[in-house]
Amino acid sequence: MDKHQDLFLAMVAGETSGDLLAGLVLQGLANDFPGLRSAGIGGPRMAQAGFDAWWPSERLAVHGYSAELVRRIWGILRIRKQLVQRLTAQPPKLFVGVDAPDFNLGVEERLRAQGIKTVHFVCPSIWAWRPERVEKIRRSADHVLCIFPFEPSLLAQHGIAATYVGHPLANVIPLQPNRAAARQQLGLPLDGEVLAVLPGSRASEVSYIAKPFFLAAARLLQARPSLTIIVPAVPALRARIDALAAECGILDRIRVLDGQSHLALEACDCTLIASGTATLEAALYKRPMVISYHMHAISWRLMLRKQLQPWVGLPNILCQDFVVPELLQAAATPEALAEAVTQWLDAPRLDPARLAQLEQRFHDLHLELRRDTPKLAADAIQKILSV
């Protein structure tokens, strides 16, 4: 294939993390396809690479089996139908679905049936829950780009072609974080304990998790008056977070940041954090953490029925061990959360070996995930296009 030939690439990225990954794919393809045209559903990072967003990524952002999903499902299905119709009328050389598997695998299956090559970027976590998805992946994707090293061999067992491209966060986050510089940038004291509280980036997460997190923070502040607590907040959720902090009586004792979650994780001694990609970010910053999650009772029961591993947090899954505590659902009481955080804050004095061991495991994990993701993804896509 002439590398200067125009290429029309269709993409769908769900949420902020998908936008980051898709932006890297476009970055990797730019040198080989100067006339690259890309369109579909995306966010600001993709737009910086010249992507034409027919719909913004946030239109796909929903959570679990919540009432929010029920309200929005018809709009999402309408977008999917219109997208498939548009791509059928104007077929791309390749469709890349980035994350958002409930949406993208359906699009990929329909397009692949029409002879359009498809790639799915980020293997759905069939190794953690919902193993039945493997059949859907087999029908939908010509190739899967994987961000964890063990996934290609797992997919190969099911006859699915895949390539490990590394986790892009491992290149974004420095191998040796600089706590002092991060504190200086945030205007925090260089000495003293700092706790980062991350109650999630979705409205539904904040609704369920923020209050027990803030009540735990109140207990910690009572026991450790000099503790500095920082709370990175998605700007759209800032008012809700401020209101919940005020309700828990700590608004004037904490510092709510507009975003800046990476700086907060680099600056802190420990983080109380909602399960999700942010836990991997915390691990790459080599920070001890307490992972927690809370959701609607029906969603929780459905998840438990399909869960394959004893761990929920990504650091524990990747290390195949409870290297950091997980307090989920009914176990996520303010008292238990505060106690688990206290153990980490006391560790430099009472259990430095535990802290050193955790930092070493996270350092090794960082090295394993660090790859040239844009190039590896672009190389895999080139091979698919040349077949």
Q: How far is 66 from 126, CA to CA, in rounded Å? A: 21
- 344 and 380 fall within a common domain: no
Q: 245 vs 91, 210, 238, 289, 347, CA distance in Å?
A: 50, 8, 10, 21, 27
Distance separating alpha carbons of residues 41 and 59, to the nearest angstrom: 9
Looking at the structure, do residues 121 and 265 belong to the same domain, yes or no?
A: no
- Please report the pLDDT score of residue 75 as a whole number: 84
Residues 101 and 179 in one domain: no
Mean pLDDT of the residues in the chain: 90
Q: What is the pLDDT of residues 3-54, one digit of tens each?
A: 445 789 999 998 777 898 899 999 999 888 888 999 999 999 999 999 999 9
pLDDT at 200: 83
- % pLDDT > 70, the chain: 91
Three-class HEC string of the chain: CCCCCCCEEEEEECHHHHHHHHHHHHHHHHCCCCCCEEEEEECHHHHHCCCEEEEEHHHHCCCCCCHHHHHHHHHHHHHHHHHHHHHHHCCCCEEEEECCHHHHHHHHHHHHCCCCEEEEECCCCCCCECCCHHHHHHHHCCEEEECCCCHHHHHHCCCCCEEECCCCHHHHCCCCCCHHHHHHHHCCCCCCCEEEEECCCCHHHHHHHHHHHHHHHHHHHHHCCCCEEEEEECHHHHHHHHHHHHHCCCHHHEEEEECCHHHHHHHCCEEEEECCHHHHHHHHCCCCEEEEECCCHHHHHHHHHHECCCCCCHHHHHHCCCCCCEEEHHHCCHHHHHHHHHHHHHHHHHCHHHHHHHHHHHHHHHHHHCCCHHHHHHHHHHHHHHC
User: Residues 6 or more apart from 304 whose CB is under 8 A from it?
Assistant: none
Amino acid found at 292 = S
pLDDT > 90? residue 386: no
The structural domain count of the chain equals 2
126 part of a folded domain: yes
User: Which range in 21-35, 55-69, 156-170 is most confidently predicted, on average pLDDT?
Assistant: 156-170
pLDDT band of residue 267 (cuts 50, 70, 90) is very high
314 or 71, which is more confident: 314
Tell me whether residue 3 is in a domain: no
For residues 81 and 208, membership in a common domain is answered with no
Asked if the structure places residue 68 within a domain, the reply is yes
pLDDT (average), residues 130-139 = 86
Verify that 99 and 62 share a domain, yes or no: yes
Residue 229 lies in a domain: yes
pLDDT reported for residue 3: 47
Residues 226 and 364 in one domain: yes
Residue 67 has pLDDT above 60, yes or no: no
In terms of domains, do 32 and 19 share one? Answer: yes
Closest CA to 112 of 94, 86, 126: 94
| pLDDT tens-digit series, residues 328-351 | 878 989 999 999 999 999 999 999
Q: Quick one: pLDDT band at residue 65, thresholds 50, 70, 90?
A: very low
Q: Mind listing the pLDDT tens digit for each residue in 237-258?
A: 899 999 999 999 999 999 999 9
Query: Looking at residue 306, what is its pLDDT?
Result: 59
Domain that holds residue 153: 8-166+371-386
346 and 276 belong to one structural domain: yes
* Higher-pLDDT residue of 304, 384: 384
Please count the CA atoms within 13 angstroms of the CA of 67 that sit on its side-chain side: 5
Supply the CATH number for residue 55's domain. 3.40.50.2000
Least confident of 62-66, 120-124, 213-217: 62-66
Q: What is the pLDDT of residues 208-240, one digit of tens each?
A: 799 999 999 999 999 999 999 999 998 888 999
Q: Residues 167-192: what's their mean pLDDT?
A: 95
Say what the pLDDT of residue 4 is.
41
Q: Are residues 148 and 226 in the same domain?
A: no
Q: By the 8 A CB rule, do 162 and 121 touch?
A: no
The model's confidence at residue 1, banded by pLDDT at 50, 70 and 90, is very low
Most confident by average pLDDT, 144-153, 358-367, 373-382: 358-367
Identify the bridge partners of residue 271 per DSSP, sorted by sequence position: 196, 289
The answer to whether residues 91 and 112 touch, using CB atoms and an 8 Å cutoff, is no
362 and 214 together in one domain: yes
Any domain includes 44:
yes
Please indicate whether residue 61 or residue 283 has the higher confidence score (pLDDT).
283
What confidence score (pLDDT) does residue 295 get?
A: 61
User: Each residue of 271-320: pLDDT tens digit?
Assistant: 999 988 899 999 999 999 999 987 656 665 666 655 545 768 899 989 98
Statement to judge: residues 57 and 32 lie in one domain? yes
Higher pLDDT, 18 or 162: 162
pLDDT of the residue at 301 = 65
In a domain, 2, yes or no: no
Residue 327 lies in a domain: yes
pLDDT at 62 over 50: yes
Q: Are residues 326 and 279 in the same domain?
A: yes
Confirm whether 45 is domain-assigned: yes
